Chains A and B, each alone.
Chain A
Amino acid sequence: MSELVIDVNNLTKKFNDFTAVDSISFYVKKGEIFGFLGANGAGKTTAMRMLTGLSKPTSGQALVLGLDVNSSADRIKKGIGYMSQKFSLYNDLTVKENIRFYGGIYGLSRAQIKSKTEEILEELSLKDVAKKLVSELPLGWKQRLSFAVAMVHDPAVVFLDEPTGGVDPHVRRQFWETIYEQASRGKTIFVTTHYMDEAEYCDRLSIMVDGKIGAMGTPGELKEHYSTDTMDDVFLKLVR
C-alpha cells in the first residue's frame, strides 16, 4: 500500500443552508499527479480551501500529510506548497527578492535561503536576470519561478490552482515537464483546473458536480467509461 498524502472522508462544508461540498471522499498517493476538476461553482475552491487549511469543514475528515485539517491547519500550511497562476509572485520585487521573501515566510534560515536561491537560479537558468524585476520576465519564466517559489520549503505536496491556462503551448509543455520531474522525485501534485487538456496530464482525476464527486479515475479510464475520445466530452456528459 502506497503512502497516502491526502486522505479525505465524507468531507462536507455548508454555508447556511447551502451545501458547497457534500460528503466527498478520495485519496491521493505519494508521487501522484492528481487533477481536481469541476464546473464553475461545483465546490472545487471550497474543497481546496479546506485541504490547504484555510477553511474548516462542517463535518467529515481530511488528512493532509497525516495531519487533520481541523486541528492542525497551521502545521499543514507549513508543510504544503501553493501556486496560483495569477497571484504567486510580487511583480515589483526582483527574482532574488521574491525567493528571499517566500523563503522568509516559510521560516528558512539565512543560510538555507542563500543555498536555495543559488539552486533555483541555477536550475531555471535565471542567474542573468536575478536582479531583474519579476514584471520584466517573460510569462514562461514567471511561471516556472512561481512553481520554484512554491517549492522553496521543500514541501511533500504542492497545490496548483489552474496553473497553465492561456499560456503559450511550448511554455506550458516545459512547465508540465517540470511537474513530471518533481512527481518522479516523489513529490505529490494536486492540480485544480477546468481546462480539460490540462486534466489529461494528470495521473488520476476527480470531477466535482454540485458539491459531490461525480467521477474519478485515470484519464484513460474515464474516457473509456464514457465512451469518448476526449476529457472535454467526459466532462460534458457528466455535467450537462
Chain B
Amino acid sequence: MLPIKIENISKTFDGVKALDNISFTVEEGELFGLIGPDGAGKTTLFRILTTLLLADEGTAEVLGFDVIKNYKTIRSKVGYMPGKFSLYQDLSVEENLDFFATIFGTSIEENYDLIADIYRQIEPFKKRLAGDLSGGMKQKLALSCALIHKPDVLFLDEPTTGVDAVSRKEFWEMLQSLKEKGIAILVSTPYMDEASLCDRIALIQEGKILQTDSPQNLITSYPHPLYSVKAQDTYQTLQTLRLAPFTRSILPFGDTLHLSTKQGGSIQEIEDFLNAKSQSQIEVKPIKATVEDVFLNLSSPQTKESPS
C-alpha cells in the first residue's frame, strides 16, 4: 500500500492557482522532500493530504484511503506537524504530550520507545510550559506529539524553518532514524541544502511541480556546462560576466558565482574575458550542479517580477 498517492490535484484561492495539477507518490519507508520557496503551495498540499482542506480537482490517497471518503481513518493513522507551532502554549511539555496521546487513545508509556530519542532531550523540562520553550525545544516537542500515536505516515511542514544550523542537523538525524523504523515521511522545506538528505524530492514553485527525482539524479540531470567563478570583486565580476557572449546564466552563490555557459565557453575563454575587463584574482573551476542550481534552471525568474 502506497503511503501517499497524489493524482492531478489542483486548488485555487481567489483566482490564484495555489496548486496546479500536482501528482507524485511517496513509497513505503521513504523520506520524501517537497522543496520550494514560501508561497509555492507546500502547506496547501499538506492540508489536503491531512484531510483539512478539499482539493478543487484530482484525487489523493494516504495509506490507500481516499482523503475525502476515508478522512477519519486517515486522521488516526498519520502524524502531522504544521509549520506554525500549534501545541498548547499554556500546557506543560508533559501535559501536551499526554493530551495528544489520550486524544489518539493511547498513552505516553505505550509508545515511549518510538519517541524516546527525541523526547529524552526535552524531558528534563517536562514541567515547563510549552510557550516558554526555545525554538529547537518546541520543534522536538511538536515532533514527539506528532509521533505519540505511532503513525504510519508523518507529515512535517517546514519543521526546520527558523531553527539554527545545529538543531537543523539534529532534526534531520532524527528523521533518518524514524525512517529506519519504517515510517514514511513527507517533509517540506524552503532550504535547498536539505534536499540531499531526502531519498527523493519534488521541486515545487508557484503551485507546479518542476521535477521529481532522487537528489543525485536531479543533480546529474543539469543540462549545461557549469563553472564556479571567484574574483576579488564579486559584484563587478557578476555584472561583467552578465554581458559575456558565452554566458547562459550567472548567479551569485555567496562569495562565489555560478556561471552556466552555452556550448563552447571554455575556462580559458572565461579567464581571458575577465582579464580583458581587468578583473583580478580570478579562479574558474568546473563544478557539479547543486539542487539549487537545478531549481534555478527549471524555474523562471520572470514570473514573479514582470509587472502585470
Contact with B along A170-182 (1 / 0, CB 8 A): 1101101100110
Question: Which residues of A are found within 8 Å of B235, using beta-carbon distances?
Answer: 177, 180-181, 183-184
Say which residue of B135, B254, B299 sits within 8 Å of A199 (CB atoms).
Answer: B254
27 contacts between A and B (CB under 8 A): A39-B165, A40-B163, A40-B164, A138-B39, A138-B304, A139-B37, A139-B304, A141-B304, A165-B161, A166-B38, A167-B37, A168-B38, A168-B299, A168-B304, A170-B301, A171-B304, A171-B305, A173-B251, A180-B252, A183-B235, A184-B235, A196-B165, A200-B255, A218-B255, A219-B255, A232-B165, A235-B165
Check if B191 is an interface residue, CB within 8 A of chain A: yes
Q: A41-B134, A140-B304, A200-B255 are in contact. Are A169 and B296 (CB under 8 A)?
A: yes
Question: Which residues of A are found within 8 Å of B256, using beta-carbon distances?
Answer: 200
Instruction: Tell whether, in the assembled complex, residue A173 and residue B252 are in contact, meaning their CB atoms are under 8 Å apart.
Output: yes
Check if B68 is an interface residue, CB within 8 A of chain A: no
Question: Which residues of B are found within 8 Å of A174, using beta-carbon distances?
Answer: 301, 305
Question: Which residues of B are found within 8 Å of A167, using beta-carbon distances?
Answer: 37-38, 190
> Given the complex of chains A and B, what is the CA–CA distance between A181 and B235 in angstroms?
8
> Given the complex of chains A and B, what is the CA–CA distance between A175 and B193 in angstroms?
19
When C-beta atoms are compared, the residue in chain B nearest to A232 turns out to be B165
Question: Which residues of A are found within 8 Å of B301, using beta-carbon distances?
Answer: 170, 174
Check if A220 is an interface residue, CB within 8 A of chain B: yes
Contact with B along A201-240 (1 / 0, CB 8 A): 1000000000000000011100000000001100110011
Q: A140-B304, A173-B252 are in contact. Are A194 and B192 (CB under 8 A)?
A: no
A43 shortest CB reach to chain B, Å = 13
Instruction: Tell whether, in the assembled complex, residue A39 and residue B305 are in contact, meaning their CB atoms are under 8 Å apart.
Output: no
Check if B292 is an interface residue, CB within 8 A of chain A: yes
> Given the complex of chains A and B, what is the CA–CA distance between A177 and B167 in angstroms?
30
Cβ-closest 6 pairs across A and B? A200-B254, A168-B37, A170-B301, A180-B235, A166-B190, A39-B164
> Given the complex of chains A and B, what is the CA–CA distance between A167 and B167 in angstroms?
21
Instruction: Tell whether, in the assembled complex, residue A129 and residue B307 are in contact, meaning their CB atoms are under 8 Å apart.
Output: yes
Contact with A along B187-203 (1 / 0, CB 8 A): 00011110000000000
When C-beta atoms are compared, the residue in chain B nearest to A168 turns out to be B37
Question: Which residues of B are found within 8 Å of A239, using beta-carbon distances?
Answer: 164-166
Beyond the given pairs A170-B299, A232-B193, 19 more chain A to chain B contacts, judged by CB atoms under 8 angstroms and listed by A's residue number, are A166-B38, A167-B38, A168-B37, A168-B38, A169-B292, A169-B296, A170-B296, A171-B305, A180-B235, A180-B252, A181-B235, A183-B235, A184-B235, A195-B191, A200-B256, A201-B255, A218-B255, A239-B166, A240-B166
Question: Which residues of A are found within 8 Å of B163, using beta-carbon distances?
Answer: 40, 194
Contact with A along B154-184 (1 / 0, CB 8 A): 0000100111111101000000000000000
Question: Which residues of A are found within 8 Å of B136, using beta-carbon distances?
Answer: 40
Instruction: Tell whether, in the assembled complex, residue B192 and residue A169 are in contact, meaning their CB atoms are under 8 Å apart.
Output: yes
Check if B295 is an interface residue, CB within 8 A of chain A: yes
When C-beta atoms are compared, the residue in chain A nearest to B161 turns out to be A166
> What is the interface residue range for chain B against chain A?
35 or more
Instruction: Tell whether, in the assembled complex, residue B38 and residue A200 are in contact, meaning their CB atoms are under 8 Å apart.
Output: no
B118 shortest CB reach to chain A, Å = 17
When C-beta atoms are compared, the residue in chain B nearest to A199 turns out to be B254
> Which of B136, B162, B163 has the most C-beta atoms of chain A within 10 angstroms of its own C-beta?
B162
Instruction: Tell whether, in the assembled complex, residue A177 and residue B238 are in contact, meaning their CB atoms are under 8 Å apart.
Output: yes
Q: A139-B304, A168-B205, A236-B166 are in contact. Are A197 and B193 (CB under 8 A)?
A: yes
Within 8 A of B (CB), among A148-195: 165-171, 173-174, 176-177, 180-181, 183-184, 194-195
Instruction: Tell whether, in the assembled complex, residue B234 and residue A235 are in contact, meaning their CB atoms are under 8 Å apart.
Output: no
When C-beta atoms are compared, the residue in chain B nearest to A195 turns out to be B191
Question: Which residues of B are found within 8 Å of A180, using beta-carbon distances?
Answer: 234-235, 238, 252
B288 shortest CB reach to chain A, Å = 13
Q: A184-B235, A232-B193, A236-B165 are in contact. Are A40 and B295 (CB under 8 A)?
A: no
Check if A125 is an interface residue, CB within 8 A of chain B: yes
> Given the complex of chains A and B, what is the CA–CA distance between A40 and B161 in angstroms?
12
> Given the complex of chains A and B, what is the CA–CA distance between A81 and B185 in angstroms?
42
> Given the complex of chains A and B, what is the CA–CA distance between A41 and B136 in angstroms?
10
Question: Which residues of A are found within 8 Å of B304, using beta-carbon distances?
Answer: 138-141, 168, 170-171
Question: Which residues of A are found within 8 Å of B39, using beta-carbon distances?
Answer: 138-139, 168
Question: Which residues of B are found within 8 Å of A168, using beta-carbon distances?
Answer: 37-39, 205, 299, 304
B40 shortest CB reach to chain A, Å = 8
Contact with A along B38-77 (1 / 0, CB 8 A): 1100000000000000000000000000000000000000
Check if B88 is an interface residue, CB within 8 A of chain A: no
Question: Which residues of B are found within 8 Å of A41, using beta-carbon distances?
Answer: 134
Question: Which residues of B are found within 8 Å of A196, using beta-carbon distances?
Answer: 165
When C-beta atoms are compared, the residue in chain A nearest to B37 turns out to be A168
Contact with A along B227-264 (1 / 0, CB 8 A): 00000001100100000000000011111100000000
Check if A123 is an interface residue, CB within 8 A of chain B: no
> Given the complex of chains A and B, what is the CA–CA distance between A176 and B299 in angstroms?
19
Instruction: Tell whether, in the assembled complex, residue A139 and residue B255 are in contact, meaning their CB atoms are under 8 Å apart.
Output: no
